[in-house]
Structure 1
Amino acid sequence: MGQGSTHLNSQMQQQETSIPLWKYDKERHGWSQKQCNTTDSSNKEWSQFRVVTYNVWFSDKYQPMRVQNLCDILNKSNAQVIALQEMTKNILQSLLAQPFVQEKYYISDGDGRTFNGWYGVVLLIDIHLHISRLNLINFPQSNMGRRLVFAEIKLDNNEILRIGTVHLESLNNAPQRLCQLNICQNAFNRSPAGTCILMGDFNFHAQGQENIDQFKALPGWIDVWTNIMGIDNRGYTFDTETNSMTKLHNGGADQSRYDRIILRSNTLIPTEIEILGNKSIGIEEDLHIFPSDHFGLTAVFEQRK
């Protein structure tokens, strides 16, 4: 959700820019910039491809405990691409210090420079993948500094993947969200046909008229949760009934599936999806603590046979 975001100039113009990858330098013991298409990847062919999306909650409440547990979840996921929303510079620095991140991933931001205001979105991408470009797009007229970060990845000789992460406009801003999703779709459409995956905090309910309207504007895209689990499985990723920490800090009851992984592809099919981080990780001040106020999602894709 992220209602606590810093409001920015509503006239911020749409602007697409190329941004560098960041890779950990073992000799210098630090992160350094790396241009796309100069990869040292192994060109490994993927029979399965796993992704994770997680809104990590910008709050400093219980942050050390939450961030460490979040890092454990991400490490165990063994995902090829991880999309994170509400990343602050403090959380980013904790993530960059993790040995598994240093060993296994490129990252789209090494110091928070792509954040608008005090938080942003980040991609982690397996270092064995060949990344041909990494771009950032400002959403015009966003009051919350919202952006799209997306990469183009050559999975093998026959499969090009375009994959991105977003944190769409919060609150009662359905027209803004529609505009932002259209910008995402147009960005993916500029390249030749291939697989497209968009994931993040979409900030609208999975049931209701806005969900219908948004997907009408996304022809050919599927909601991976619904595709695998069916329309009757609510799959709440924001759930004050389960997450008492969220209930306390949200100020009211809310059960919603705000977080999504959506797919458009003729060659990859989703085979698994599950919720992450929906178990208490400890107790502080008689309150059950969770990794975030949202739950995460992980999905697996396979080549269509």
Structure 2
Amino acid sequence: MLKIIIILFMWCSVSEASEYFIVTYNVWFDYSTSEERVPKLLDAIEKPDVIAFQEVKRWFVNDLKRDGRFRNYNIVMKNGWNDSIRGGLLILTKSKILEQAYYDLPSTMGRGMLYSVINIDGTSVCIATSHLESMPEDTNIRIKQLKIIFEKTSSCNNLILLGDFNFGDGEPENEVIDSTYLDVWKTLKADKLGYTWDIKKNKLAEENSFPSEGSRRLDKIYVKGKHLMPVEIQIIGDIPFQSPAGKVLFPSDHFGLSAKFAIH
């Protein structure tokens, strides 16, 4: 009986809250296949409230601007040298942007964190995205990067942290993530592997993988704050297609993630 009451209470709480839809996607910087891939990638994104992209190049931003489905989004990004996008990071949001910043992280690859504060139905929510160091041996660098991200977002009462973290389940980096950060996939789908870097399914991931690297859950969404309740998460962009040249492609070498939150 107590279990039924708890479930009913949670259902009522969620039903009275507004729902928020977000996506994270590493779009792959390869320009040679972009003409075929990017339309499929954008089709996989179903007009969420917030989108965080990684490995963004200027040509990708131009493609977004030409697509009418994304004209009503506010853009958060930091320009770099020679018309580049700092850290390859881009956030699109339908909400009003209250604050935004870019922070460099210790890196040999020019990695950073892109940060914004938005207003959702009167609640201030921090959105932060990053693409951590890529090499398998870069564990210590990723740990340093995570600690700086946590420091820079420590004042956020409500935080959604998402992106390509470049470490999988069971790896040392997980030990520095404290219990106030909920891993949305593990919270909602602990019985599913959730590989977003799937070298068995995605030929692009197989071609770009390191020697002896296996499939891993590299792309993640974390949430912190009592006003944010994750209610749904799923993998997107995992359907292959055939290019005009007859090659089997995916929208990216990564799969994306979409999630829904109840905002109390």
Shared fold (TM-score, shorter chain, > 0.5): yes
1:241 counterpart residue number: 200
Aligned to 1:136: 102
Q: Among residues 168, 190, 196, which one is paired with 1:205 in the alignment? A: 168
Which of the residues 126, 137, 144 maps onto 1:162? Answer: 126
Match in the other structure for 1:257: 217
**Whole-Å Cα distance in 1 between the matches of residues 154 and 84 of structure 2?**
23
Structure 2 counterpart of 1:227, which letter? Answer: T
Equivalent position of 2:229 in the other structure: 269
Structure 1 residue aligned with 2:118? 153
Instruction: State the shift of 1:189 in Å.
Output: 1.5
Q: Give 1:111 shift.
A: 6.5
Cα distance change, pair 62–277 in 1 and its aligned pair in 2 (3 A): same
Contact 2:143 2:173 in 1 (8 A): no
Contiguous gaps of at least 5 residues in structure 2: 1-15
1:225 match: secondary structure: helix
Q: 1:209 to 1:239 in 2, by over 3 A?
A: closer
Q: TM (normalized to structure 2)?
A: 0.86
Number of aligned positions between the proteins: 245
Contact 2:79 / 2:85 at 8 angstroms: preserved in 1? no
SS in 2 for 1:189: coil
The one-letter code sitting in structure 2 at the alignment partner of 1:54 is: Y
Separation of aligned partners in 2, 1:133 and 1:124: 14
Q: Distance in 2 between matches of 1:229 and 1:266?
A: 20
Q: Which residue of 1 aligns with 2:25?
A: 54
Q: Which has the higher helix share?
A: 2
What secondary structure sits across from 1:234 in the alignment? coil
Superposition deviation, residue 130 in structure 1: 2.5
Superposed CA RMSD in Å reads: 2.1
1:188 aligns with 2:176: no
Amino-acid identity (%):
32
Matched to 1:204, the amino acid is F
1:78 corresponds to: 47
Match of 1:290 in 2: 250
CA distance in 1, matches of 2:228, 2:77: 28
Asked whether the 8 Å contact 1:92–1:111 carries over to 2, the reply is no
What one-letter code is carried by the residue in structure 1 that aligns with 2:129? T
Instruction: Measure the CA separation in 2 of the matches of 1:179 and 1:251.
Output: 22
Query: Relative to 1, partners in 2 of residues 1:149 and 1:114: Cα closer, same or farther, differing over 3 Å?
Result: farther
Specify the SS of the correspondent of 1:300.
strand
